[in-house]
């Protein structure tokens, strides 16, 4: 039913070509954008996210409805502002096309999420991404060094990717067609609705799969991690089943995991999850990281939020959903251990009472994890105490259903909780999250 409200969602058609040495990704994007805002627009803003993550993306030609248009780079070349030759009125649509090249590098920026590694290439947002227009302006914030850089509308994707033969393409969505000739392969895939399109290329990885109803879970990891990867699939299947039952169905036919030497335990994308190579043999956090990233398929992808200005909306909620998994599937001592770890991290912060609901840039050093993940977890636990478990579940199900494929903010979350409980939660939100901005 949610698809009925997405007739005007952006549509990306992508042609991408990866060279044999994994040094350059070249491509062309055609983006159909409908002005769903109440304002007449004279510009459209694209985000060049690789330029914030250590690689180099350049656009060689940009057209609007087939006409070359002037554009200007901003925010350290991470923002491309395109001038339209005619004002785009509410309800009107336009097609942008761009030729681009990305010089692929390895970098620790953004936890190393974008770039080359020995056996795997990680490519989030490897194309120009439409920015989000809200409150009379395009979002042009430069991503903080911590947290996630993406703020994007749910969209639909059709992509054809050409890459060396014999290598695995791991991607959001589903493969429609595959062919091979002259040492190269061409893969056509479709995805959406989804916040972005993630791609990875791996060589020498072992594929393992597990079926859960109509959904298939795939794991791509080095062969020496095969036992741990299989265990991870079982954990993910339990989480997927629990969250689908309690909070609304997982929306896709596939969920894929790929081992990438990122500097975070895991990183979520629509239908794909990165797991750090070192995580597989870290028994203390292996399960909780997997479950946390699975929870983001609801709190990030299904319901979008501003991950730069309000990171708690997806991160703290994912923490709470992870606790619910721990309580359902692990011994009591492990669930208590999870709580105690995050309580300890929170209480060790220089200012343990810092508001949960601040922008990423407001947290210095370890305060981001301690407050957003740690104190944020205990906020949702306190909210459950206030509402009761049954009402809490009804509220979250309503929240995910009403804001599916849209955007939510603090006011939306609070309003949904109050609608279900018939109570005033402002004092609780103000005390933990901070006063509404």
Give the model's confidence band at 146: pLDDT under 50 very low, under 70 low, under 90 confident, else very high.
confident
Q: Based on DSSP, count helices (H) and strands (E) in the chain, helices before strands.
A: 9, 23
| Distance (Å, whole) CA 382 – CA 287 | 24
Q: Are 403 and 419 in contact (CB under 8 A)?
A: no
- φ/ψ bin of 408: left (φ > 0), alpha (ψ from -120 to 50), beta (otherwise): beta
The structure tokens listed for 359 are 């922008």
Tokens of 70: 């002037």
**Which phi and psi angles does 194 have, rounded to 5°?**
-160, 150
* pLDDT at site 53: 94
Q: Taking the mean position of all CA atoms in its chain, how far away is CA 376? A: 19
pLDDT at 144: 79
Q: Quick check: 2 pLDDT over 80? A: no
d(CA 209, CA 219): 6
Q: What is the pLDDT of residue 319?
A: 98
For residue 23, the SS3 value is: coil
Q: What is the pTM of this model?
A: 0.96
Strands 215-221 and 254-259: parallel
Give the strand pairing for 266-269 and 115-116. Answer: unpaired
pLDDT-derived band at 383 (thresholds 50, 70, 90) equals very high
Is it true that the peptide bond before 304 is cis, omega within 30 degrees of 0? no
What was the pLDDT predicted at 120?
Answer: 97
Q: Is 244 helix (H, G, I), strand (E, B) or coil?
A: helix
Q: What is the mean pLDDT of residues 220-224?
A: 97
In the chain, what percentage of residues exceed pLDDT 70? 100
User: What are the start-end ranges of the H helices in 188-331?
Assistant: 226-247, 286-295, 312-329
pLDDT at 247 over 90: yes
pLDDT digits (tens, 9 = 90+) for 387-411: 999 999 999 999 999 999 999 999 9
Write the pLDDT tens digit of every residue in 160-218.
999 999 999 999 999 999 999 999 999 999 999 999 999 999 999 999 999 999 999 99
Chain centre distance of CA 174: 17
3-state secondary structure 92-129: CEEEEEEEEEEECCCCCHHHHCCEECCCEEEEECCCCE
Alpha-carbon distance of 218 to 337, in angstroms, equals 29
- Say what the pLDDT of residue 127 is: 98
Q: Which of 187, 166, 290 has the alpha carbon at shortest distance from 231? A: 290
Q: Do residues 43 and 84 touch, judged by C-beta distance below 8 A?
A: yes
- Using CA of residue 59, residue 65, residue 68, residue 70, what is the dihedral sign? negative
Task: Give the pLDDT of residue 141.
Answer: 87
**DSSP letter at 2?**
G
């Amino acid at each position: 039913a949610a698809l009925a409200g997405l007739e005007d969602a952006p549509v990306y058609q992508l042609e991408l070509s990866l060279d044999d040495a994994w040094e350059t990704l070249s491509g062309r994007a055609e983006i159909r954008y409908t002005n769903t805002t109440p304002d007449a627009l004279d510009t459209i803003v694209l985000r060049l996210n690789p330029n914030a993550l250590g690689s180099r993306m350049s656009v060689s030609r940009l057209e609007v409805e087939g006409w070359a248009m002037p554009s200007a780079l901003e925010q350290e070349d991470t923002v491309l502002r395109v001038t339209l030759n005619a004002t785009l009125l509410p309800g009107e649509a336009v097609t942008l096309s761009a030729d681009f090249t990305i010089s692929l590098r390895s970098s620790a920026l953004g936890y190393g999420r974008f770039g080359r590694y020995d056996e795997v290439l990680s490519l989030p947002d490897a194309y120009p991404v439409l920015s989000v227009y809200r409150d009379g302006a395009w979002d042009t914030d430069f991503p903080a060094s911590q947290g996630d850089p993406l703020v994007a509308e749910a969209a639909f994707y059709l992509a054809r990717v050409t890459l060396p033969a014999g290598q695995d393409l791991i991607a959001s969505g589903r493969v429609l067609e595959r062919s091979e000739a002259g040492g190269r392969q061409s893969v056509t895939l479709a995805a959406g609705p989804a916040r972005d399109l993630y791609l990875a290329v791996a060589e020498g990885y072992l594929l393992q799969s597990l079926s859960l109803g109509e959904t298939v879970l795939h794991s791509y990891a080095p062969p020496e991690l095969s036992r741990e990867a299989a265990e991870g699939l079982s954990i993910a299947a339990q989480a997927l089943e629990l969250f689908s039952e309690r909070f609304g169905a997982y929306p896709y036919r596939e969920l894929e995991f790929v081992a990438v030497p990122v500097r975070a335990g895991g990183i979520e994308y629509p239908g794909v999850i990165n797991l750090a190579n070192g995580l597989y043999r870290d028994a203390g956090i292996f399960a909780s990281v997997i479950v946390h990233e699975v929870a983001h398929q609801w709190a990030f992808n299904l319901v979008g939020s501003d991950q730069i200005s309000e990171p708690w909306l997806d991160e703290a909620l994912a923490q709470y959903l992870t606790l619910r998994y721990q309580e359902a599937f692990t011994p009591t001592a492990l669930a208590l251990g999870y709580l105690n770890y995050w309580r300890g991290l929170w209480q060790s912060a220089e200012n343990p009472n810092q508001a949960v609901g601040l922008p990423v840039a407001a947290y210095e050093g370890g305060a981001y994890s301690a407050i957003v993940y740690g104190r944020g977890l205990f906020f949702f636990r306190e909210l459950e105490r206030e509402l009761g478990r049954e009402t809490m579940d009804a509220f979250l199900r309503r929240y995910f259903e009403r804001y599916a494929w849209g955007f939510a903010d603090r006011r939306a979350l609070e309003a949904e909780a109050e609608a279900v409980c018939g109570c005033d939660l402002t004092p609780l939100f103000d005390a933990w999250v901070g006063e509404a901005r």
